[in-house]
Amino acid sequence: MDNHKKHRILMVSDFFYPNFGGVENHIYYLSQCLMKLGHKVVVMTHAYKNRSGVRYMTGGLKVYYVPWRPFLMQNTLPTIYGTLPIVRTILIRENISLVHGHQAFSTLCHEALMHARTMGYKVVFTDHSLYGFADVGSIHMNKVLQFTLADVSQAICVSHTSKENTVLRSGLPPEKVFVIPNAVDTAVFKPAPKRLGRHEIVIVVISRLVYRKGADLLVEVIPEVCHLHPNVRFVIGGDGPKRVRLEEMREKHSLQDRVDMLGAVPHSKVQSVLITGHIFLNSSLTEAFCIAILEAASCGLLTVSTRVGGVPEVLPGDMVVLAKPDPSDMVLAITKALELLPQIDPQFMHNRMKKLYSWHDVARRTVIVYDCALRCSNQDLLERLPRYLSCGSWAGKLFCLVMIIDYLFWLLLKLWQVYTHTIPFVGFSSVSPLLFDFICFCNIHHP
């Protein structure tokens, strides 16, 4: 296959702008860089409040906000077959050659990849998180992932730890999984023009205040650090159910003048918060990669982080101090970071990050994965079913039944369009192509 072949990619995930997070940023920056390389990229996600229909973003990135509302944690309600009509319509309308799904927790991603394989498209999946094996939620999630990845063309993970986790959870052959890290936009995340003084040391925390992000650790670490180091002040950006605990801690220890609670910080203002600090603190209990660490390092902050998941792979040893996810060990790590501060040159760190991480490099490596996926041989349904059958004694049979019904439903949609010249929409009604255009495009300029 020609290495200069241009791809037509459909990115699918429940997580995209105007929501903010690591997955959302990854899809956006990757799409922008792929378009600069000459590839066509279309994004499919669910509707966000009044944002529905087709919108265009920077660089002409086309986004389909399909008419589904989030059901739980920005995920759409699982329908299995309900998304097939609109997925099929977008694939045909945009002349897509490959479908790229993101995030194991995304219902829309799983359903779109299933429908794309039914229709004979090559699919690529990127896993952005780590999951366990023992709790009920993880067991069910891992079975869903095994079903989705049973027939995936290629998979991508953001760290080697994440790759090991995904291979163990899904049973995917390791040779089909590529490791491509996240990156950071160093043009946006730049150090402060003037170096900060050290008479007061500011430790910045920007995170969702939830259990998984280690908010409970912060409740124990902050008072101890403030007691040991009178010149340290904390700035905490983020919101979540654990915010109440942090505010109670601040009141209990009378730290109102040393712990600033900023609340939710829009991504456009993260850089302006980071450059007010000297140290960035990440207390996550599980993390596949952590883009926030890259953003902080690009702004010239020394990072203190828990040694979990793929975090040790992110930065060189002289740019981060790692600790166990234990309050006493984290206090020791912060003390060590305070001693290392005089050796830190923010501009030098920023220049190193420019060389280490680039979205353009991520895009070029992702194109190699696309090329590998398109080289995979086409197989009909009967050749693909044994892959699902191997997923378990009863689950394998169930997965085969799901795929057979999906295939029959797809054939029904094809016959429907041939004989009625209409496009089945959302599985319940049918509209003419002209009306479908109107539904999709009427909100392009809507705020």
**What is the residue extent of each domain of the chain?**
8-183+362-441, 201-357
Give the whole-number percent of the chain exceeding pLDDT 90: 63
CA distance 39 to 291: 25
Q: What is the mean pLDDT of residues 9-25?
A: 90
Tokens 């045909």 locate to 92
Structure tokens at 79: 């329908």
- pLDDT (0 to 100) of residue 8: 96
8 Å CB contact between 101 and 443: no
pLDDT tens readout for residues 42-66:
999 999 888 888 999 989 999 999 9
pTM comes to 0.86
| Element containing residue 29 per DSSP (H, E) | helix 22-36
| Element containing residue 244 per DSSP (H, E) | helix 243-252
Relative to beta strand 429-431, strand 423-425 is: antiparallel
**Angle (deg, nearest 10), helices 395-420 and 136-149:** 50
- pLDDT (0 to 100) of residue 179: 95
Same fold, 8-183+362-441 and 201-357: yes
- pLDDT (0 to 100) of residue 433: 44
- pLDDT (0 to 100) of residue 422: 57
pLDDT tens readout for residues 254-271:
999 999 999 989 888 999
8 Å CB contact between 428 and 104: no
pLDDT beyond 70 at 443: no
CA distance 226 to 255: 8
CA distance 101 to 111: 10
- pLDDT (0 to 100) of residue 93: 92
pLDDT beyond 70 at 446: no
8 Å CB contact between 109 and 141: no
pLDDT beyond 90 at 163: yes
Q: Which residues of 56-73 are buried (b: 16+ CB within 10 A; e: fewer)?
A: eeeeebbbbbbebebeee
Superfamily of 8-183+362-441 according to CATH:
Glycogen Phosphorylase B; (3.40.50.2000)
Any idea what DSSP says for residue 226?
Answer: H
Among 168, 172, 88, 86, CA closest to 125: 172
Architecture in CATH of 201-357: 3-Layer(aba) Sandwich (3.40)
8 Å CB contact between 146 and 391: yes
Among 305-314, 336-345, 429-438, the minimum mean pLDDT is found in 429-438
